[in-house]
Structure 1
Amino acid sequence: MGLFSSKSTPSHGLSIVARNCKVVGDIDLEGDIQIDGFGEGNIIQANAVVISASGHFRGTINAKHITINGLVEGQCDADAIDILSQGKMKGVLNTEQLTIEKGGLLSGENRATLSTDTVVPLAEQARSDDKASKDKKAHPPSSKQS
């Protein structure tokens, strides 16, 4: 099969921004991307994003999984984010699962997101607790005397 054959299967492999390379603009891909150089803009979607120790990214990253071992300035939205020992994140994280290794740095804000099926409305819980408390006061346990 030729290099440009129309019958080739689409590849969802790894894209790499090399160490001495600078990319500015929006990136939209189905596969993975590793930033060893400099990137500025938005990663609109990706499966996995790795910012290596030599990498620097400025902008917004949307991915299923983000690994930071270099410098990220901006916002990261992902199911899971790992900040490794050389990683530095300056900005806002939106994630369900955050891991920061010893030496890793988060300077900014982590807006932890939770799955909606694990969230209990506070007002509903407070009403339930208040009702139980009132029932105990209205009907104290009887003590037997002999």
Structure 2
Amino acid sequence: MFGKNAQPPIKSLIAQGSRIEGNLRFTEGLRVDGEVFGDLRANPDQPSILVISEEAVVEGAIDADHVIINGSVKGPVNARELLELQPRARIEGDVSYKALEMHQGAVISGQLKPMLDGEEKPLLKLAAKQLLA
């Protein structure tokens, strides 16, 4: 869905030290460095990206096209296109995805549910450390 240059811009930020209580709908891109106690849902009618940084805590459902997690999430995660789990990602909840990239160290406590288009197999990629020569 996204080429390297075609990703939507991140236009909104929940800064470290901020706390949101309640559901949030967003368009295009959102980065969370603080705490969110509620659902984070992207507009399904346009491409979206959600970044949960290493310091971030989210307690609620997540729904976006491209989801990058390196913090803590308690709740279901739905990545309509790509889910990237960075080394410090911690998820307590079921995860659905079309494509998954998981780095060593990421932890999921829940079920993995690939979203299949017909008989298509889900794309799984284990992100390995590159060896230096």
Please, what TM-score do these two structures have when normalized by structure 1? 0.69
Q: Tell me the C-alpha RMSD between the 2 structures.
A: 1.6
Instruction: Give the number of the structure whose residues are more often helix, by fraction.
Output: 1
Matched pairs, number: 108
2:41 matched to 1:39?
A: no
Which residue is 1:27 aligned to? 24
2:67 matched to 1:66?
A: yes
2:100 matched to 1:98?
A: yes
How many angstroms does 1:40 deviate by? Answer: 1.3
Q: Any stretches of 5+ residues in structure 2 without a counterpart?
A: 1-8, 122-133
Which residue is 1:9 aligned to? none
Which residue is 2:91 aligned to? 89
Which residue is 1:116 aligned to? 118
1:13 and 1:53, CA in 2 relative to 1: closer, same or farther beyond 3 A? closer
Q: Deviations over 1:16-59 (max 9, x none)?
A: 11110000111112121111010011112251111100001011
> C-alpha separation between the residues in 1 aligned to 2:119 and 2:109?
30
How many angstroms does 1:107 deviate by? Answer: 1.3
> C-alpha separation between the residues in 2 aligned to 1:56 and 1:72?
6
Which residue is 2:51 aligned to? 50
2:16 matched to 1:15?
A: no
Q: Any stretches of 5+ residues in structure 1 without a counterpart?
A: 1-11, 120-146
How many angstroms does 1:118 deviate by? Answer: 3.0
How many angstroms does 1:13 deviate by? Answer: 4.3
Please, what TM-score do these two structures have when normalized by structure 2? 0.75
> C-alpha separation between the residues in 2 aligned to 1:71 and 1:109?
16
Report sequence identity in percent. Answer: 23
The answer to which structure, 1 or 2, has the higher relative contact order (CA under 8 A, 6+ apart) is: 2
